[in-house]
Amino acid sequence: MGDVNAPQDFPLPARPRLIATDLDGTLLHDDKSVSDRTVAALAAAEKAGIDVFFVTGRPARWMDVVSDHVHGHGLAICANGAAVVDLHDDARLLRVRPVDRATALEVVRGLRDAAPGTTFAVELTTGIHREPAYPPFHQDAGATVASAEKLLHEPDPGSAAPVLKLLAHHTDLTPDGFLTLARTAVGDRASVTRSSPTALLEISGLGVSKASTLALCCAERGISSDEVVAFGDMPNDLEMLSWAGTSYAMGNAHPDVLASASGHTLTNNEDGVAVVIERILAGA
């Protein structure tokens, strides 16, 4: 794999038309800040005619940390591809790819059987809610607390807010072990991934991922995968990194990400995304 503490020595792509970057562990420093160097690089890319898309597992309401750094188009892909939002318009939802509530209930029951002790939270287009034993959300102190069955109950079809993703947490299993177990238990009912260093899984509708929603956004703009450069650090970035014509794993990335990306850059705290963008623009 070479030295993951420096960009790989391989040909940079011809001028890309779109840069897709994850946020936590990738664009953001560990303190959740965006460095001045990164702000300048993003602005320079947009000025050069390269769209920059933030593609994250975060919900739209947690995008304030980067909302000022989206330029012309204003778009961001949130909730691992379940939502496309306009950050120039108060995070207005432009596209939703929800999880069917009945399917989410099947997943809850399947994971409880496969991994007793699993607790759940439900991310809706209107906010997040959790079971009593699920770790509380410091950024969402007003979340409803109830069983997953109550949180997913819909009195009449279409009467409740769409479910963007289901979250599953376990206190005893390892993160990768929980992911492997859950994918077996869930099967082809939904897509399961993770982005947390803890045993916290994110469950989306089948086929919904950062990659598939990014592909839809690119198709609307006539942009091919070969014209996309992507950055990421965790398993929920894998499909996006594989889809993009050029991909970079952060120096702090999960081993599977380091193994699958076409190149490596510095860590998030060393502004690894900005380093590559600067090199791309310098080579134009």
Task: Detail the DSSP E strand segments found in 8-116.
Answer: 18-21, 51-55, 75-78, 83-86, 92-96
Rounded to whole angstroms, the Cα distance separating 223 from 169 reads 37
Mean pLDDT across 165-187:
98
Which CATH code is given to the segment(s) 18-97+209-282?
3.40.50.1000
Q: How far apart are alpha carbons 3 and 174 in whole angstroms? A: 27
Topology of domain 101-205, CATH? 3.30.1240
What is the mean predicted confidence (pLDDT) over 193-209?
A: 97
Phi-psi region of 121 (alpha: psi -120 to 50; beta: other; left: phi over 0): beta
| Rounded Cα–Cα distance for residues 247 and 175 (Å) | 24
Residues 104-118: tens digit of each pLDDT: 999 999 999 999 999
214 in Cβ contact with 81 (< 8 Å)? yes
Q: Cβ neighbours of residue 52 under 8 Å, at least 6 residues apart?
A: 18, 19, 21, 42, 45, 46, 70, 71
Q: Residue 165 has which token pair?
A: 């993703």
> pLDDT confidence of 4, banded at 50, 70, 90?
very low
Domain ranges of the chain: 18-97+209-282, 101-205
Structure tokens at 189: 């009912």
Confidence of residue 3 (pLDDT cuts 50, 70, 90): very low
pLDDT in tens, 80-106: 999 999 988 888 999 999 999 999 999
User: CA 123 to CA 138: how far, in whole Å?
Assistant: 15
The pTM score is 0.92
